[in-house]
A and B are shown apart, each in its own frame.
Chain A
């Protein structure tokens, strides 16, 4: 039973990640290989707020979100001048730089040793968030909130403008929209929402190290979003469910762990290729990437 709760918490964390990524990839067609970097920045900033400043839950979470959003501007401003492959490359470069800094700036991040003993955050000075059940509640509330906000964002004038940029950038410019500003806003919002997942992960596992936020994780996140589907609310949720439950399904079949890990990856890879060929909008999405 506890194990199922643990899985639900992980799914909630990944729903937040994939939904935020969908904002960039599915609404604006900005393919990013730097999502794990923002996830990691969010996690490390949360730890900073909780362990150094000793802040309670809500200020710490807001601090992580705001900080990650601000840092994302560093890469958003320059990279948005680039198109296609070059944009992906810029986000990939950012991902590798962030990882190297987290890994090697040992005096601040403790590098490869990681940060153990992250305290459980306090809510309203009274409730201590610790144990599976409280994390289940917290992560579910946050995941539902993110999905809810995202649903409204898609249908808001802002979301419509973003989809306009995605589908026909030139026309949006002709209509007098500031396309660059829209893209930067989408970038910053997506990054600060990913920070929520970083916060949950750091406090739930109570240990972080840079290897959770490397390029492989970025590729994994991007595959999850693309396999699940782009452009609507359902797609990312399906993606998150699949990537968390598929390994369990493989374990259920009774494959040894060593093979199961590789087999799982092969299934993701195959899914990416087949989906790109036959169903580029993903399993449950509405937008086919271009």
Chain B
């Protein structure tokens, strides 16, 4: 049957959208602009999470080792250690939990400093994800916006937003809907790292707190939704996995850019879930 009417759905929510969804076990797929390189915002943290696990498995890092995060490490962000005031001593795996569950920027940058860009990008190349790369941490992403706009947050002027390099896939962290879904499918198929590491990553990704995007499309007790969001001015996205009661599993990635520069747009958040539901429903027909 023909693909669902994603375009009119996105338009009604005031966004342009790109998406890709695949049945993890059969490979059936549906997409719209699935191979478009797009800025990933905080979704790069998933690649960092996998690289962290692989380094721990290789004996380079110890996930239980503790580090102390001080004011010097703190970067801008509304959640987790970024929002706290005092020094924190914490294990690497708990930093990873904060990085995923509440998208904590300080935790992410602390881990990125330990893992390194080369390890993350080398791993992505090894996975064959040629359009996915990580070139900046959260602190640098925030700093670039201040430099590009010439002033501090908020960035709501359309001219300012047009200048943001953080939104330019050629200069910022980037991926495609298909490749983000593939990263998730690899975690769910135990291919991204060892089965034990993949099981832990699934647990952490399932603890993400945000209910307004992917999860909003599946408001059912018996459907599990795991994922990682990404947000920058006019950019809202989430990639993740939806697990149905019959055991079927779907890796989904949805990117949107809103026409309006307003920061609060519940319909733009919700359309990520609605589009994902439509895609999964299509794959199940």
The answer to whether A binds B is: no
- The residues of B with any CB-CB pair to A shorter than 8 Å are none
